[in-house]
Copies of this chain bind each other. A is one copy, B any other.
Amino acid sequence: METKPVYKSDIQIAQEAVMEPISVIAAKIGLGPDDIELYGKYKAKISYEAINNLPQTDEGKIILVTSINPTPAGEGKSTVTVGLGDALSQLGKKTIIAMREPSLGPTMGIKGGAAGGGYSQILPMEDINLHFTGDIHAITAANNALSALIDNHIHQGNELKIDPRRIIWKRVLDINDRALRKVVIGLGGPVQGVPREDGFDITVASEIMAVLCLAVDLKDLKKRISSIVVAYNVDKEPVTVGDLGVEGALTLLLKDALKPNLVQTVEHTPALVHGGPFANIAHGCNSVMATKTAAKLADFVVTESGFGADLGAEKFLHIKSRAAGLKPSAVVIVATIRALKMHGGVIKTELMTENVQALEKGLDNLKKHIETIKQFELPFVVAVNRFVTDTKEEVSLLLKWCEENGVSASLTEVWEHGGKGGLDLGEKVIQAIQNQENNFHSLYDVSDSLEEKITAIVQKVYGGKGVEFSTKAFRQLKEAEKNGWGHLPVCMAKTQYSLSDDPNKLGRPSEFTIHVRELIPKLGAGFVVALTGDVMTMPGLPKKPAANGMDVDDEGRAVGLF
């Protein structure tokens, strides 16, 4: 683009958009007034009864949107997800978008909201980015009720002989708050409980969030919650929520949070926005409830997974698909010129300047993710999410490279033009589903040992040499196998910025080793987390938090959300 037009802000576009009543959106996908529970005029939850009455076959084709390794420059994966959904709608396909719900922490901090951008947004943007329908607050409440019940159990006599030094269940808050990462609680004498070390994670990192996103119904949710390991007793045996006898109360707190939330895009495409577990500590996909419901209600479901294909997509394909019996029909790999240039060595402040050499070098990162999706034998399309600073030279280099390598690619302008900017992508995705072979399979056998599964991910997905376990992790590996947890899938906790566990190694590092420092059983979610490098489970606020620019006018309209 030669000249830089004046663009509207996301919140301006969102507030100017004329929404349809959510009952109208529901009717589009065959849901009547009794099938939904309204939260205001533009948000609704789908009732259990409505979901139970749907046909038991999910015929809708699932399109998974993933990306190259993200950079602070931003890839716009959510924006492409929304834009692709709108494009498919414009192409006459009955489409539902299935996305994660944003966390308040990053919204108040540095990242801003997560409802897409420009003309590819989900609405009402303010509500979705603030408390929405209260799901995340319900998870905070359930998580912290469990914490209080654990500490109370110890205080009241500790019948289960919980070792206060071996409690792995942490408290959570949906706010970026570094001061709560490491705390000492129970101070002040015998009346205030038993002093011990503890820490707070951000709510989306809670196992309850992962559990909510993997449960297929309330009964399954309760069963999963009951299995959560919260601590070890003095004999080093695991203590579960079921041992404490509070799985019923915790499930009760989540009885509405498990229902998928229905909203709409700027172009009135229905969107189920539900669940949002961290893609590092957890599996990073929206809920199985929403994805399966969408697949029953629509012909096409566009969904996303967190961070790059090495994290979110790997987990979608190995964890969520397995747990829910899903088979994606195609994958969209989002790439941006800016991010590829960063992978090619350009620093953030110089991304506005044309740099074809760096782009060419950065393509290695995209190449690896393409290879990964090819290993899963899934149809795919590369979506080049256009930014106004991209030059013609850069764009044509990227598209030419795709063409030369037989990769289906599409330049999308969904941020600027909504669904219209993604029509070509939509068509190419439909073609990919029709023409490319789909022999979707796992890259490991779930009956392999944990070590074998981790090694398979490192070598096949990250392109690394091998794995090194810390003494602690090695001991935990043996304990996990002994406890009968060896048959579970592995959920890798790794930096999103690099294919390796070193966030500074951009592009396509090779010959690297992944260092597993700790294993954490997440029996409710049904996986074992392998922690590599320094994984942050409670972010901090920046020097100038986004909160300082936020306001609300006298009529209750949000100001300064982005």
Q: Please report A residues at the B interface, Cβ cutoff 8 Å.
A: 37-41, 45, 48-49, 104, 108, 130-131, 134, 137-138, 140-141, 144-145, 147-149, 151-152, 155-157, 173-188, 191-194, 217-219, 222, 245-246, 248-249, 251-253, 255-256, 540-543, 545, 547-548, 550-552, 554-556, 558-561
Among candidates B134, B177, B192, B222, residue contacting A137 with C-beta atoms closer than 8 Å: B134
Cα–Cα, bound, A543→B184 (Å): 23
Q: Could you name 8 residue pairs across A and B whose Cβ atoms are closer than 8 Å? A: A148-B176, A148-B541, A151-B178, A155-B540, A181-B188, A246-B545, A246-B547, A246-B548
Known contacts: A545-B152, A554-B219. The answer to whether A252 contacts B130 by CB under 8 A is: yes
Task: Determine whether the beta carbon of B184 is less than 8 Å from that of A187.
Answer: yes
Known contacts: A141-B175, A219-B554. The answer to whether A183 contacts B182 by CB under 8 A is: no
> Shortest Cβ distance from A206 into chain B, in angstroms?
14
Interface residues of A: mostly helix, strand, loop or mixed?
Answer: mixed
Task: Determine whether the beta carbon of B174 is less than 8 Å from that of A141.
Answer: yes
Q: Name the CB-closest residue of B to A180.
A: B185
> Shortest Cβ distance from A142 into chain B, in angstroms?
10
Residues of B within 8 A of A157 (CB): 543
Among candidates B184, B187, B194, B547, residue contacting A149 with C-beta atoms closer than 8 Å: B547
Residues of B within 8 A of A552 (CB): 218, 222, 248, 251-252, 255
> Shortest Cβ distance from A494 into chain B, in angstroms?
20
Q: Name the CB-closest residue of B to A152.
A: B541
How many copies of this kind of chain does the complex include?
2
Residues of B within 8 A of A249 (CB): 108, 547-548, 550-551, 560
Cα–Cα, bound, A560→B248 (Å): 10
Residue among A41, A222, A245, A252 with the highest chain B CB neighbour number at 10 A: A252
Residues of B within 8 A of A219 (CB): 554
Known: A134-B137, A182-B186, A182-B188. 17 other contacts (CB 8 A): A38-B40, A38-B41, A131-B141, A134-B134, A137-B137, A137-B138, A137-B140, A151-B177, A178-B193, A179-B192, A181-B187, A182-B192, A184-B187, A246-B545, A248-B552, A249-B548, A255-B556
Task: Determine whether the beta carbon of A252 is less than 8 Å from that of B551.
Answer: yes
> Shortest Cβ distance from A126 into chain B, in angstroms?
8
Cα–Cα, bound, A134→B186 (Å): 28
Task: Determine whether the beta carbon of B173 is less than 8 Å from that of A191.
Answer: no
> Shortest Cβ distance from A61 into chain B, in angstroms?
30
Residues of B within 8 A of A246 (CB): 545, 547-548, 550
Task: Determine whether the beta carbon of A218 is less than 8 Å from that of B554.
Answer: yes
> Shortest Cβ distance from A21 into chain B, in angstroms?
11
Residue among A219, A246, A547, A561 with the highest chain B CB neighbour number at 10 A: A547
Task: Determine whether the beta carbon of B187 is less than 8 Å from that of A540.
Answer: no
Among candidates B147, B251, B550, B555, residue contacting A551 with C-beta atoms closer than 8 Å: B251
Residues of B within 8 A of A180 (CB): 148, 185
Residues of B within 8 A of A181 (CB): 187-188, 192-193
Q: Name the CB-closest residue of B to A104.
A: B141
